[in-house]
């Protein structure tokens, strides 16, 4: 018998969910959105949203916290209007900007996961005086292009190193770290002598650079801007209005696609053979799952693995692979270009 609790969580394993997705006869729209606002009871907010989104067959990943909501989802096109009506009937989310994917195959997510977190984006900020009530000034795509023509303006990428590696705005400053939490303190230190300069921050969809802009203002920076809707909204706007595109390469996204092309340039290289390539993959070894860039040739040679060692492992029996994984931390594992190259 299905309990009320079961209705609040995904009940399918990955294979079952993928089969169900593949059997769908309708198209899907990949959307991201966020909003900083006070949620008095995040768990209740989360549970009510999960029930409605499940009924609408929404898939994706959503974080809810007392500071707001952060979502990356795919919505059946046949239910899109119902989805928007539900969202906009939440007072704080009325007329919220919804970022539609630049390139979309409808397969961005497999299951629905809505989690309650302490923060909708992990920032490591412990200063009790910090507030999101004062953020930098929004810049539209047009305003961004105009302002960043000035060589004295500092453009700062508030994404992780592996996102920057495959694509970024022309002349953008990289804050080379693995996490947004690290970047916040690093950005203050790197730009400490430029507090009176015009500083423009950007990220994928806007959530990180909005918080970063507030943190910069809190730390004494005077002229801080951030790109409204991030790279996704920028790319859609320049295409719609036929504006010059100042983003070079691919925009990394945190779903099954792992990226969407914004321009035709490829600026990154295969981490195994150094050929031009911008295709991210996860190592096929379940005990590794390293996120790295791999060209088609190396994908065939290494069978989707990051090394010959992992290639050997995937041909072992399921029992042998399970034994090798015992006691290992199989969390996020990401190749860092600043460290040694992958082993052959």
What the block records as the tokens of 156 is 């700062």
**What's the rounded Cα separation, in Å, for the pair 300 and 90?**
49
In angstroms, what CA-CA distances link 92 with 33, 37, 47, 195?
Answer: 13, 7, 17, 33
Task: Decide if 31 contacts 75 (C-beta within 8 A).
Answer: yes
Task: Decide if 107 contacts 21 (C-beta within 8 A).
Answer: yes
Task: Decide if 199 contacts 157 (C-beta within 8 A).
Answer: no
Determine the angle formed by the axes of helices 180-190 and 207-218, rounding to 10 degrees: 40
Nearest to 229 by CA among 136, 120, 132, 97: 97
**What's the rounded Cα separation, in Å, for the pair 79 and 325?**
41
Q: How many residues does the chain have?
A: 344
What the block records as the tokens of 77 is 């096109």
Burial class (CB in 10 A: 0-12, 13-18, 19+), 273: middle
**What's the rounded Cα separation, in Å, for the pair 90 and 83?**
12
Question: Which residues are known to be catalytic?
Answer: 203
Q: What is the DSSP letter of 338?
A: T
């Amino acid at each position: 018998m299905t309990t009320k609790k079961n209705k609040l969580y995904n009940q399918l394993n990955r294979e079952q969910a993928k089969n169900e997705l593949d059997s769908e006869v309708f198209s899907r729209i990949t959307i991201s959105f966020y909003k900083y606002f006070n949620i008095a009871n995040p768990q209740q907010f989360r549970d009510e949203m999960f029930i409605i989104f499940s009924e609408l067959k929404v898939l994706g990943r959503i974080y809810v916290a007392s500071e707001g909501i952060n979502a990356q989802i795919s919505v059946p096109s046949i239910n899109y209007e119902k989805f928007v009506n539900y969202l906009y009937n939440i007072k704080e989310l009325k007329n919220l900007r919804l970022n539609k994917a630049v390139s979309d195959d409808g397969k961005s997510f497999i299951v629905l996961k809505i989690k309650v977190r302490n923060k909708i984006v992990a920032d490591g900020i412990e200063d009790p005086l910090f507030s999101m009530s004062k953020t930098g000034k929004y810049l539209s795509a047009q305003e961004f292009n105009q302002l960043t023509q000035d060589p004295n303006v500092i453009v700062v990428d508030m994404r992780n190193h592996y996102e920057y590696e495959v694509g970024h705005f022309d002349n953008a400053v990289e804050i080379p770290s693995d996490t947004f939490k690290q970047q916040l303190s690093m950005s203050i230190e790197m730009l400490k002598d430029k507090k009176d300069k015009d500083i423009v921050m950007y990220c994928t969809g806007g959530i990180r650079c909005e918080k970063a802009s507030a943190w910069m203002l809190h730390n004494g920076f005077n002229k801080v801007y951030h790109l409204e809707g991030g790279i996704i909204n920028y790319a859609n706007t320049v295409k719609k209005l036929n504006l010059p595109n100042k983003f070079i390469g691919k925009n990394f996204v945190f779903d099954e696609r792992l990226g969407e092309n914004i321009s035709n340039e490829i600026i990154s290289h295969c981490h195994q053979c150094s050929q031009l390539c911008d295709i991210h993959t996860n190592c096929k070894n379940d005990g590794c799952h390293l996120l790295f860039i791999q060209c088609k040739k190396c994908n065939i040679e290494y069978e989707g693995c990051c090394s010959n060692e992992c290639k050997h492992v995937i041909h072992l029996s399921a029992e042998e692979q399970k034994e090798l994984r015992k006691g290992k931390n199989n969390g996020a594992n990401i190749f860092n270009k600043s460290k040694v190259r992958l082993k052959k």
